[in-house]
Amino acid sequence: MSRLGSFSASRWGIIVTGATIGLLAPLLQRWGNPPNMGICVACFERDIAGALGLHRAAAVQYLRPEIMGFVLGAMIAALVYREFKPRAGSAPIVRFFLGMFAMIGALAFLGCPWRALLRLAGGDLNAILGLAGLTLGVGIGVQFLKAGYSLGRNNAAPAAVGWIMPAAMLGLLALAIGRPVLTEGGAIFTSASGPGSMYAPLLISLGVGLLIGFLAQRTRFCTMGSIRDVILMGDTHLISGVGALVATAIVANLALGQVRVGFAAQPVAHSAHLWNLLGMTLAGLAFVLAGGCPGRQLFLSGEGDGDAAIFVLGMISGAALSHNFGLAGRPDAIVDGVLQVGGIAPVGMWAIAIGLVACVILGFTMREQAMTVRRVAMAPAEQGE
């Protein structure tokens, strides 16, 4: 057990985790998941929101077992290695809104950091703009970290706090397996066409999620964290796993015949370059301020972190908001042989602008020094009560 733990903490451990994701994601695509979307945390959480009726975009509604597997796999690893520690209390309302903004940005681009890497591995050159935006957003966030940004410490919490997210995922899994009809014409919804209608067999999807959740919990795999660590400390440990993901996914896609190089009309993607860039800039900044990418937040919630669970709920709410208010990106389309470039509507552009401004304000105001000054200023008033 200790030998396996040492391997998980090593560079080879993170490389194996990245390579595993890079292999399984193209295979999930071959087994039924949408093109260039073998795994996408943001897209899959959006599909879950749709399946529950939180939004009614008919093309993106399905209870994705991979998401349940990520949380439950991480929970199993945390229990085995005695790292399941219920905790919470670190600015939960801020984390909720950061999750919403992260999802708004990700759905403007049409993918999370994992999907950006997998889209690139499948030949979608629009991913270059998304990854550039992600790096820009992370870079801005790092400057706030250097200036003392912090959401404060979380604290040990009752055991029930740590079990809520795994229990919720078990509940969703039961719904995915049983597919009950609870009310006529109501949830649980499943798309008849579009990305939500494309999925690998349930047990395969769940198994992949469990394996990745277990490995990622052990190795602390995080795409945002890999960029942050390089910028902040010059540490290449995490990014070696990201490199392994991309390299393995390229080889797997070539072997499976799933590579199509170009910008226009890529699967579930658009070539509105500015909004690919800015959407992922917002997402990257929100990830840094919240302390982890969407996958990492799921893994943390599986090991008892209630604050990460709040971020996950914020992302699911952000998905509902994006589709109910028309904020999400619209894919490119070929109509009568003519390319129609997708992108986002003006309301989506405003949402990204508002999200960027809100995150910058949080970056300036949620600082240890600023919070210390406020506590000192409040002390005399508290003493007089």
Q: What is the mean pLDDT of residues 358-374?
A: 79
Q: Which two tokens mark 101?
A: 């903004």
Q: Which two tokens stand for residue 185?
A: 């014409």
**What's residue 183's pLDDT?**
86
What six digits make up the tokens of 373?
């000054």
Of the candidates 95, 88, 92, which has an alpha carbon nearest to the alpha carbon of residue 158?
A: 88
More confident residue, 94 or 376: 94
Domain parsing of the chain, residue ranges: 2-384
Cα 138 from Cα 385, distance rounded (Å): 43
Q: How far, in Å, CA of 263 to CA of 345, rounded?
A: 20
For the chain, how are helix, strand and coil distributed in percent, rounded to 5? 65, 5, 30
Print burial letters for 295-313: b (CB count within 10 Å at least 16), e (below 16): bbbbbbbbbbbbbbbbbbb
Among 109, 75, 318, CA closest to 213: 75
Instruction: Tell me: pLDDT of 358 over 50.
Output: yes
Give the pLDDT of residue 9. Answer: 84
Q: pTM for the full model?
A: 0.94
pLDDT confidence of residue 385: 42
Q: How many other β-carbons are positioned within 10 Å of the β-carbon of residue 119?
A: 28
**Model confidence at 299: pLDDT above 60:** yes
Give the residue among 347, 357, 342, 354 at the shortest CA–CA distance from 327. 347
Say what the pLDDT of residue 337 is: 86
pLDDT in tens, 235-287: 999 999 999 999 999 999 999 999 999 999 999 999 999 999 999 999 999 99
51: closest CA among 205, 176, 204, 198?
176
Average pLDDT over residues 90-107: 97
CA angle 64, 38, 324 (to 5 degrees): 50
Q: Comparing C-alpha atoms, which of 334, 299, 302, 356 is closest to residue 108?
A: 356
pLDDT at 4: 63
Q: How many CB atoms lie within 10 A of CB 219?
A: 25
Predicted confidence (pLDDT) at residue 377 exceeds the cutoff of 60: no
Confidence of residue 370 (pLDDT cuts 50, 70, 90): low
Q: What is the pLDDT of residue 197?
A: 97
The pLDDT, as a whole number, for residue 7 is: 81
The 3-state DSSP class for residue 65 equals helix
Helix (H) or strand (E) holding 338: strand 338-340
Amino acid at 235: D
Calculate the average pLDDT of the chain. Answer: 94
Share of the chain above pLDDT 70, in %: 94
Q: What is the token pair recorded at 24?
A: 């399984």
54 has pLDDT over 90: yes
pLDDT band (50, 70, 90) for residue 341: very high
- The more confident residue out of 384 and 172 is 172
CA distances from 266 to 49, 107, 137, 362 (A): 24, 15, 24, 35
Q: Is it the case that residue 374 has pLDDT exceeding 90?
A: no
Instruction: Quote the pLDDT of residue 2.
Output: 58
Return the amino acid letter for 359: C
Residue 211 has pLDDT above 80, yes or no: yes
Dihedral through CA 381, CA 371, CA 317, CA 85, nearest 10? -100
pLDDT-derived band of residue 383, with 50, 70 and 90 as boundaries?
Answer: very low
Q: What is the pLDDT of residue 376?
A: 38
pLDDT for position 201: 98
